[in-house]
């Protein structure tokens, strides 16, 4: 609120839009930082066996599960879409319930001390309910917009997110109805032409969702490495693509070799170990350098991101052009109402002018002077 006042907005609606945008940005960064970290940063800078990157030369960087970071991201999204939404619904209804219970308890004690057995009228009981939030429906809009972000931004990693959001909204509709009717005072109505800045926020989330899902599919998942292996390094490169057979040997191909004898601390029963990466073996002329397959996979990932983004944005633009925001018949009716309103104003002005001329004894015509 302090930063909003520093901007010196001209109107109350501008202040509310500024406040809503700042609240959204703060909540979005706070709630999505963990998912973005798991999707795009976890395990990317850990290094390799024998040359791990360490924080302050002491602690090793965190790594993903051997099966990949997509499983960790899926579990994180599951926790957010299930447990977080349950907790939000509990707090949204439980907090006013607890406050109203405490208020009734204090009123009952006050009545017992005054030896009063009269029942309070309904308007007094309504006045003792909890007041609505000072910022109106900002919290409700914020909750729905954040849920839309969770549903769309990482839907490629957790496809059940839209279903869980639908179930949550079905339950929350009834909880909000109960809260507005029985736990809150009646809010003051206010007229609004649209949803304000939230429309732009939703459009921005849609753009971020397309870009993020492209990176999740290309970088976080194993889709592109499998695709490159099947068409370039698999057993059926020259035999045509058949998914069941072309991925044989993919796991062995995706693991690099490390010589355990290079470690100085202790002895090991096995000479070599395997780890997920595309690096040259220790007996090659350039040991542990990135292989040609690594650069092929990287180029395929970048190409997929560019093609995916342009394709989705092109489809979105085409659909937005084919389906206008306002139906044609509604536009025609609005134009007709505007024309009729202008005609009424014209007739009223003409009648007034004719009366004035007749009163003053001047000649007048039936046309606009």
pLDDT digits over 293-328, tens only?
888 889 999 999 999 999 999 998 888 888 877 888
Residue 96 tokens read as: 């006013």
Confidence check: pLDDT of 94 > 60:
yes
The pLDDT confidence band at residue 260, using thresholds 50, 70 and 90, is confident
Compare 205 and 109 and report the one with higher pLDDT.
205
Compare 96 and 147 and report the one with higher pLDDT.
147
Confidence check: pLDDT of 267 > 70:
no
Cβ–Cβ under 8 Å, residues 216 and 73: yes
Q: Stretch 58-63: mean pLDDT, rounded?
A: 79
Cβ–Cβ under 8 Å, residues 183 and 120: no
**Rounded distance between C-alpha atoms, residue 222 and residue 157, angstroms:** 12
Candidates 6, 2, 4; CA nearest to 19 is 4
Instruction: Provide the pLDDT for residue 305.
Output: 92
Q: Which residues pair with 184 in a beta bridge?
A: 130
Q: Which residues pair with 272 in a beta bridge?
A: 259
Instruction: Provide the pLDDT for residue 311.
Output: 93
The pLDDT confidence band at residue 1, using thresholds 50, 70 and 90, is low
Candidates 28, 12, 1; CA nearest to 143 is 28
Greatest CA separation for the chain: 120
The pLDDT confidence band at residue 129, using thresholds 50, 70 and 90, is confident
Q: Stretch 87-110: mean pLDDT, rounded?
A: 79
Question: Quick one: 20 exposed, middle or buried, by C-beta within 10 A (0-12, 13-18, 19+)?
Answer: buried
Q: Stretch 145-159: mean pLDDT, rounded?
A: 89
Candidates 51, 45, 28; CA nearest to 259 is 51
Confidence check: pLDDT of 186 > 90:
no
Q: Where are the domains of the chain?
A: 1-112+125-187+197-220, 224-322
**Rounded distance between C-alpha atoms, residue 209 and residue 72, angstroms:** 19
What are φ and ψ of residue 283, in 5° steps? -90, 0
Cβ–Cβ under 8 Å, residues 369 and 353: yes
Confidence check: pLDDT of 362 > 60:
no
**Rounded distance between C-alpha atoms, residue 155 and residue 77, angstroms:** 9
* Range with the poorest average pLDDT among 176-180, 207-211, 247-251, 296-300: 247-251
Positive or negative, the Cα torsion across 183, 188, 189, 194? negative
Question: Quick one: 182 exposed, middle or buried, by C-beta within 10 A (0-12, 13-18, 19+)?
Answer: exposed
End-to-end Cα separation, the chain, in angstroms: 55
Collect all residues with Cβ–Cβ distance below 8 Å to 81 and sequence separation of at least 6: 150, 151, 158, 160, 161, 164, 165, 168
Strand 272-276 relative to strand 255-259, pairing: antiparallel
Positive or negative, the Cα torsion across 100, 106, 112, 118? negative
Instruction: Provide the pLDDT for residue 55.
Output: 79
Question: Quick one: 52 exposed, middle or buried, by C-beta within 10 A (0-12, 13-18, 19+)?
Answer: exposed
Instruction: Provide the pLDDT for residue 176.
Output: 84
Instruction: Provide the pLDDT for residue 361.
Output: 64
Cβ–Cβ under 8 Å, residues 40 and 47: no
């Amino acid at each position: 609120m302090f930063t909003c006042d520093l901007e010196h907005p001209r109107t109350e609606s501008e202040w509310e839009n500024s406040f809503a945008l700042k609240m959204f940005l703060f909540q979005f960064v706070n709630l999505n930082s963990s998912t973005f970290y798991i999707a795009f940063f976890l395990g990317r800078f850990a290094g390799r066996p024998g040359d791990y990157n360490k924080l302050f030369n002491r602690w090793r960087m965190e790594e993903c599960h051997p099966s990949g970071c997509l499983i960790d991201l899926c579990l994180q999204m599951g926790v957010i879409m299930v447990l977080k939404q349950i907790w939000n619904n509990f707090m949204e209804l439980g907090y006013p319930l607890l406050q109203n219970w405490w208020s009734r308890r204090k009123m009952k004690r006050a009545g017992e001390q005054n030896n009063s057995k009269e029942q309070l009228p309904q308007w007094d009981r309504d006045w003792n309910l909890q007041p609505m939030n000072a910022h109106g429906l900002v919290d409700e809009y914020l909750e729905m917009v954040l849920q839309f972000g969770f549903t769309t931004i990482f839907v490629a990693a957790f496809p059940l997110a839209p279903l869980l959001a639908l179930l949550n909204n079905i339950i929350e509709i009834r909880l909000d109805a109960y809260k507005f009717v029985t736990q809150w005072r009646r809010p003051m109505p206010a007229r609004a032409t649209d949803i304000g800045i939230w429309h732009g926020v939703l459009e921005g989330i849609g753009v971020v969702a397309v870009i993020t899902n492209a990176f999740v599919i290309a970088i976080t998942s194993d889709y592109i490495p499998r695709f490159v292996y099947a068409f370039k390094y698999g057993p059926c490169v020259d035999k045509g693509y058949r998914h069941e057979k072309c991925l044989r040997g993919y796991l062995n191909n995706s693991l690099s070799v490390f010589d355990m004898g290079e470690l100085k601390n202790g002895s090991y029963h096995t000479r070599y170990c395997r780890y997920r990466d595309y690096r040259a073996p220790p007996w090659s002329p350039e040991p542990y350098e990135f292989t040609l397959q690594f650069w092929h996979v990287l180029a395929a990932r970048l190409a997929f991101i560019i093609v995916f983004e342009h394709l989705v944005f092109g489809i979105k633009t085409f659909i937005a052009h084919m389906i206008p925001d306002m139906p044609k018949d509604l536009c025609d009716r609005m134009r007709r109402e505007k024309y009729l309103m202008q005609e009424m104003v014209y007739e009223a002005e003409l009648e007034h002018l004719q009366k004035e001329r007749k009163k003053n004894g001047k000649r007048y015509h039936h046309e606009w002077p």
